[in-house]
A = this chain, B = another copy of it.
Amino acid sequence: MKKNILLVEIGTNKKTYFYLENFKDRNFISTNKGNILLKDIHEVEWGGIVETHKGFKYRVSPVSIVDFVLYGIERETQIIYPKDAGYILIKLNLKSGDKVFECGTGSGALTMFMANCVKEKGVVFTYEKRERFLKIAERNLKKMDLIDYVRLNLKDLENEDIEEKEFDAAFLDTREPWKLIGKVEEILKSGKNLGILVPTVNQVVNILKELENRNFYDISVKEIFLRDYKTVYERLRPEDRMVAHTGYLIFATKGS
């Protein structure tokens, strides 16, 4: 039984996410171009074609974490974009079995990407001070079957302590991350990496100032841009508009 699907409209390539658990009592789902029988969706192979009662055709596609974050995630916060997430994962050098620290959880987009990297044996300890966001993140992680590799913690780390330690990697996505760098210094293993995402240059300045006073080295600040192309081969050209800014990425390695 399929649990998450992405319907990819043939012709337009428009994508719509469905969490099929929500439709257990029904025998069809509705698109804005007609209804599709759930029986058809469950019977077709991944990547197969189904039809609405009006005759419009869709591919039934599995939902990667990138797809979920872009089309399916429930959220009330800004999320971390795939273009940034991919780079974060490799800069933090995550691998199966790692123990990862994250604050704040937000909607859990990066939590998902990190949990997928460290499973089966690893775990992401994520901290969030706003209970509503933690509930949202929990629902998102459950939908994507990643909740088993995550410990959700309702805590305000600016005022409370991190009880865990010996982390293999750390990530901060809070408004004033410089206030948490001292605590991260204590719980991150030597030689392991901290990543931070902030939207403004003023925040970057504050972070660099704080890192200079802490035991971190190999500090870097980066921006990542993603440019999409229209895919008609006779008229290959970039899309007209793009995301110009999500945030600045700061990385540093814990010294000993």
Chain A residues within CB distance 8 Å of chain B? 8, 10, 13, 15, 44-49, 59, 61-62, 64-66, 82-83, 85-91, 93, 95-96, 113, 116-117, 119-120, 189-193, 199-202, 204-205, 208-209, 212, 215, 217-229, 231-245, 248, 253-256
Whether A90 contacts B86 in the complex (CB less than 8 A), given A47-B254, A191-B47, A217-B59, comes out as yes
CA–CA, A191 and B189, complex, Å: 39
CA–CA, A61 and B192, complex, Å: 9
Contacts of A120 in B (CB 8 A): 96
- The answer to whether B191 touches A236 (Cβ under 8 A) is no
Q: Which of B90, B191, B243, B245 meets A66, CB within 8 Å? A: B90
Contacts of A85 in B (CB 8 A): 86, 90
Contacts of A205 in B (CB 8 A): 201-202, 233, 236
Smallest CB gap from A8: residue in B: B218
Contacts of A227 in B (CB 8 A): 222-225, 244
CA–CA, A87 and B225, complex, Å: 11
Contacts of A46 in B (CB 8 A): 189-192, 256
Contacts of A226 in B (CB 8 A): 87, 222-225
CA–CA, A242 and B242, complex, Å: 6
Contacts of A254 in B (CB 8 A): 47
Identical copies in the complex: 4
Contacts of A229 in B (CB 8 A): 204, 220-223, 248
Contacts of A190 in B (CB 8 A): 45-48
- The answer to whether B95 touches A116 (Cβ under 8 A) is yes
Select the residue from A91, A212, A221, A241 with max chain B CB neighbours within 10 A.
Answer: A221
CA–CA, A191 and B65, complex, Å: 14
- The answer to whether B238 touches A241 (Cβ under 8 A) is no
Contacts of A96 in B (CB 8 A): 96, 119-120
Smallest CB gap from A93: residue in B: B64
- The answer to whether B241 touches A47 (Cβ under 8 A) is no
CA–CA, A15 and B219, complex, Å: 12
Select the residue from A47, A49, A223 with max chain B CB neighbours within 10 A.
Answer: A47
Contacts of A93 in B (CB 8 A): 64-66
Contacts of A202 in B (CB 8 A): 205, 234-236
Jot down 28 A-B pairs with beta carbons below 8 A, ordered by A.
A8-B253, A46-B191, A47-B190, A47-B191, A47-B253, A49-B255, A59-B218, A64-B90, A83-B224, A85-B86, A95-B116, A95-B119, A201-B205, A204-B229, A204-B236, A208-B231, A212-B233, A220-B231, A221-B229, A223-B227, A223-B229, A224-B226, A225-B227, A228-B244, A237-B245, A239-B245, A240-B244, A241-B244
